[in-house]
Amino acid sequence: MNPSSLPKVIGVGVLVFVLVILSATSTYVVGPGTRGIKVTLGKTADQFLPEGFGFKSPFITSIVPVSIRQKTQAVRAECFSSDLQQVILDLRVLYRVPEQAVVEIYKQFSGDPFDSLIAPRVQEALKEVTALLTAEQIVKSREEIKQKALSAARLKIGELLKVEDIVIRNIDLSKELERAIEAKMVAEQQAAQARFTQVQTQVEAETAVISARGEAEAIKVRGDALKLNPAFLRLKLVERWNGKSPLVVPAQANNTGAGLLLPLGSAESPTPP
C-alpha cells in the first residue's frame, strides 16, 4: 500500500463508522404490544409512538418503550375482620396500561406503576370490605369480597390503569380460628342431620298412624257389612273354596239359616266306595 494513500483509507473508515453510528442513533423500532415515549433533552412528547419503525434526532432523542399488555402481580393484604380477627389474603391482580394513558403514566410514575398505584389501592379496598364481615363470613364469601374489592379499587385508581380482575388465591387465618370455624361447621352439619332424622321419623310415624287408621276403618266396614248381610260371608267362602270336601258347620240354635261350608284346607276328599 502506498503510504500516501493511508490517510485516505483511514478517513474513509472513520466516515463509514460515523455514518453507521448516525444511522443507528437516528432510527428506532417500537415492538409489538408496546408504545414508545419520545424524550428529547429531558422533555417528554405529548403523544406516544405506535408500533413500528421510525426516525428520530440522533443523540438528543431517546425512545422509551411502555408495555400495554396485560400483566399479573402478586399482592399480600393483611386485613382485620369485624370480630377483630387477622385475615391475610394472597391475591393475584391482573392489570394493564391503557394506550391513552402511557404518556401520563411515564410522566407521573417511575418504572412500573403497580407498586406505587395499584397495590396500595387494592389493599385499601380489601381492608374496607373485610372490616364489615366476620372471619367466618370472609371464608364463605370469597366471590362477594372479590367483586366488592374490585369495584372499590377501580374507583380509587381511576382511568390511569385498568384493573382487569382480582383473584383470591388463599385466605390465611390463625390456627385457633381455623379450628373454631371447623368445629362450628361440623356442629352445624350434625344439627342439620339430626333435624332431618327427626323429620323423617315423624313422617314415618304419621304414615304408620294413617295406615293403621285405614286398616281399622276397613275392618270396621267389613264387620258392618257381615252384620247386615250374612250371605256375604258365604260368598267369600265359596270364592276361596279350594275344591276339597267341605266341612259343614251347623247353624246356631237361634238361627234358622243354613249351616256354613268351611274348606278343610289340605284334607283329601273321601274316596267313594
Q: What are phi and psi of 95, to 5 degrees?
A: -150, 170
Average pLDDT of span 250-255: 52
- The pLDDT confidence band at residue 273, using thresholds 50, 70 and 90, is very low
pLDDT digits (tens, 9 = 90+) for 180-205: 666 666 566 767 777 778 888 888 88
Question: pLDDT (tens digit, 9 = 90+) per residue, 108-162?
Answer: 886 678 988 899 999 999 999 999 998 888 888 889 999 999 999 999 998 889 9
Cβ-based burial of 6 (10 A; exposed 0-12, middle 13-18, buried ≥19): exposed
Q: How far is CA 92 from CA 33, 66, 71, 121, 203, in A?
A: 22, 22, 10, 14, 51
pLDDT given at position 26: 79
Region of 270 (left: φ > 0; alpha: ψ -120 to 50; beta: rest) is beta
Confidence of residue 267 (pLDDT cuts 50, 70, 90): very low
pLDDT at 223: 72
What pLDDT does residue 268 have?
Answer: 46
Give the pLDDT confidence score for residue 1 in this predicted structure: 56
52-110 pLDDT per residue, tens: 988 888 878 888 898 999 999 999 999 988 888 888 999 999 999 999 889 988 888 86
pLDDT for the residue numbered 188: 64
What does the pLDDT read at residue 206? 81
Sequence-distant (≥ 6) Cβ neighbours of residue 128 within 8 angstroms: 152
